[in-house]
Every structure is written in structure tokens, then in C-alpha cells.
Amino acid sequence: MALLEEKVISVHHWTNRTFSFKTTRNQTFRFKNGEFAMIGLKIDNKPLLRAYSVASANHENFLEFLSIKVPNGPLTSKLQYIKENDTIIVNSKSTGTLVCDYLLPGKNLYLFSTGTGLAPFMSIIRDPETYEKFEKIVLTHTVRIPEELAYRTLLENLNNDEIYKEITNNNFIYFNSVTRAEWPRKGRITEWIKNDKLWEEVGLEKFDPINDRVMICGSEEMTAEIKNIFIEKGCEEGSTKAQGNFVIEKAFAEK
Ligand SMILES: Cc1cc2nc3c(=O)[nH]c(=O)nc-3n(C[C@H](O)[C@H](O)[C@H](O)COP(=O)(O)OP(=O)(O)OC[C@H]3O[C@@H](n4cnc5c(N)ncnc54)[C@H](O)[C@@H]3O)c2cc1C
């Protein structure tokens, strides 16, 4: 385990609540797609670190992160001002449960995210192995307003993207919904699952616990609610110790 220094390559502000950035990647930093690491800034010469999912895939030679901007948040009130060539620090030990290996083999893989919970799935959907393990990969992202749909253009076009079309082979499906503004697909993802409209909307057969697998990343409330829905459908939670039908990680800790 080491604290690595990485240079910021680019920064993109999605809204006044979220931004993403790319940094250099020390090749000694190895991670499984879907994992998180502790990253941050040196403040008064001391490291201030927070858990961040790596949004880039592990075959890429850069690192990418999607971040919230918490007003008065110890880290993000400063991190949101980073610019090209600034230095961030990355703890090279990664961990996490949103890893395909912790799921039983299956047919379709559903990735449910809200807010910055999208980040680990940006890594998983850019990993060729995901498409070797599953037939269809469905990514859902729910946010409050359309502007918060980070990476929307990339996700809408992933199957035609010059780089990623070879990886997805047309098997990637993107579904977004918005809770607090007019939008073609309104409402919380839990409603879309409960009333069975999601499967129709993404053009797949109804969820089947025998064949389908699930990953969940969002707020405490969202993860708990979706977990219960899938337990009621007969699913079991997987972990680093035993494979299951679904795995979960909270996108952030409430204080
Ligand atoms: C396993 C794990 C993975 C994480 N991955 C990411 C990630 O990829 N991107 C990311 O932005 N954050 C992520 N977080 C949250 C992150 O660790 C920090 O909490 C966040 O960067 C804010 O840091 P802060 O010091 O500014 O404020 P903190 O003191 O850490 O947080 C203050 C409060 O802000 C709220 N908050 C924190 N993070 C979020 C968030 N992401 N979305 C909405 N509200 C939030 C919470 O209510 C929290 O109590 C993750 C947390 C965990 C536990």
C-alpha cells in the first residue's frame, strides 16, 4: 500500500453538484473494475482522503473519478477547484463488493445507480470481461434533474462509440430516469422495478432470479429499498466470500 501522487489531466463540471476528472495512473495501482480507493488532497501537508469508486476501467492508462461537490465538505469543497496539472493523492489499495466475480454466473446483468453511484458502473461497462460473462448489460441511472445525468451522451452512444463498440457488441442498454423535472422517463427506479415497466422499457424479458444478476450503488435509502425488492424476488446477496444474485455498495456514507 502506498500513497501515490497523480497529475490531473482534465476536469469536467456536469452541474454545480457534480464533476468528473481524469488523472495520470501509476501502473503499480491495480484494481478490479467496480472497486473504490481512498483519494484526496494534501491539505496543510497532511493527506485528506475519502473513498472514491474508480470510474475508468483497469485496462486504461489513466484514472477517472466522478465526484459530488458537498458545500463545506472537508474534501470536496477544495477538490471541486482542481485543474489540469494539479496533484491529487491516491492510496494504491483498492477494495469493494461491486465486482463481477462476486456474482453467480448469469444471463443479463442489471446495474442500478443513483447520483454518483454511477461511478463504479462506468468502470464495469467499459470492461470487456463484463460482456464475456453476461449477454446483456443494463445500466440504470436516476438523478433529480436531467443535467445530473453525467456521461449521458457517452452512454447513449456507447454501442456506436469508436472505442467501445468493439467491447459492447451492441449488448449495452442504458436507461435513465429523473425525479424532479419533466423527462420522458420520470420517477424513482424502485417504482420502475416494482411496476415491471423497466423490463418493457429496456426490451428484455421480466427479471428472472435464476438467470439475472444485479449490482446496486446509491444512497442508503435506495440501496436498502432495492435490496428488499430483490430479496422478495428470491435473490441472495453476494460478497467477497460467497457469490450471490446481487451485490451492493453505498455510494456514500451519511453522517
Ligand atoms: C464505498 C464508498 C465509495 C464512494 N465513492 C464515491 C464516488 O465515487 N464519488 C463521490 O463523489 N463520492 C463517493 N463517496 C463519498 C466520498 O467518500 C465523500 O464522502 C465525498 O467525496 C464528500 O467528501 P467531503 O469530505 O467533501 O464530505 P464528507 O464529510 O465526506 O460528506 C459530507 C456529507 O455529504 C453527503 N455526501 C457525501 N458524498 C456524497 C455523494 N457522493 N453523493 C451525495 N451526497 C454525498 C453525505 O450526506 C455526507 O454525510 C464514496 C463513499 C463510500 C463509502
pLDDT tens, position by position, 211-250: 999 999 999 999 999 999 999 999 999 999 999 999 999 9
Q: Which pLDDT score, from 0 to 100, does residue 135 have?
A: 98
Q: Quick count: other Cβ atoms within 10 Å of Cβ 234?
A: 10
Q: Which pLDDT score, from 0 to 100, does residue 2 have?
A: 80
Q: Is 196 left (phi over 0), alpha (psi -120 to 50) or beta?
A: left
Lowest mean pLDDT among 62-66, 113-117, 225-229, 239-243: 239-243
Task: Report CA(70)–ligand 1 centroid distance (Å).
Answer: 8
Tell me the pLDDT band of 254, cut-offs 50, 70 and 90: confident
Strands (E), 189-236: 213-218
Distance CA 181, CA 45 (A): 43
Q: What is the pTM of this model?
A: 0.98
CB 181 within 8 A of CB 145: yes
Q: Does the C-beta of 1 come closer than 6 Å to ligand 1?
A: no
Q: Does the C-beta of 56 come closer than 6 Å to ligand 1?
A: no
Residue that has been written with the C-alpha cell 444471463 in this structure = 107
| pLDDT, mean of residues 55-67 | 97
- Burial string for 142-168 (b: 16+ CB within 10 Å, else e) reads bbeeeebbbbbeebeebbebeebeebb
- Ligand 1 atom index nearest CA of 51: 17
Mutate-to-test residue for ligand 1 from 23, 70, 148, highest number of ligand atoms within 8 A of CB: 70
Q: Does the C-beta of 251 come closer than 6 Å to ligand 1?
A: yes
- Span 138-183, pLDDT tens digits: 999 999 999 999 999 999 999 999 999 999 999 999 999 999 999 9
Amino acid at 107: K
> Residue 116 pairs with which residues in a beta bridge?
none
The answer regarding whether domain 3-95 maps to CATH 3.90.730.10 reads no
Phi and psi, residue 165, nearest 5°: -60, -30
CATH 2.40.30.10 residue window(s) in the chain = 3-95
- Ligand 1 atom index nearest CA of 120: 8
CATH class of 100-250: alpha beta
> What's the DSSP call for residue 179?
S
| pLDDT, mean of residues 115-121 | 98
The three grid cell numbers given for residue 32, joined into one nine-digit string: 478490479
Which of 139, 138, 99 minimizes the C-alpha distance to 249?
99
Q: Which pLDDT score, from 0 to 100, does residue 1 have?
A: 61
Mutate-to-test residue for ligand 1 from 90, 215, 252, highest number of ligand atoms within 8 A of CB: 252
% of the chain exceeding 90 in pLDDT: 97
Which of 151, 147, 123, 153 minimizes the C-alpha distance to 137?
123
- Span 69-107, pLDDT tens digits: 999 999 999 999 999 999 999 998 999 999 999 999 999
Strands (E), 14-153: 18-24, 36-43, 46-53, 62-68, 87-95, 108-114, 136-143
3-state secondary structure of 117: helix
Distance CA 30, CA 223 (A): 27
> What's the DSSP call for residue 251?
S
Residue-averaged pLDDT of the chain: 97
What counts of helices (H) and strands (E) characterise the chain? Answer: 8, 11
Burial class (CB in 10 A: 0-12, 13-18, 19+), 114: buried
CATH 3.40.50.80 residue window(s) in the chain = 100-250
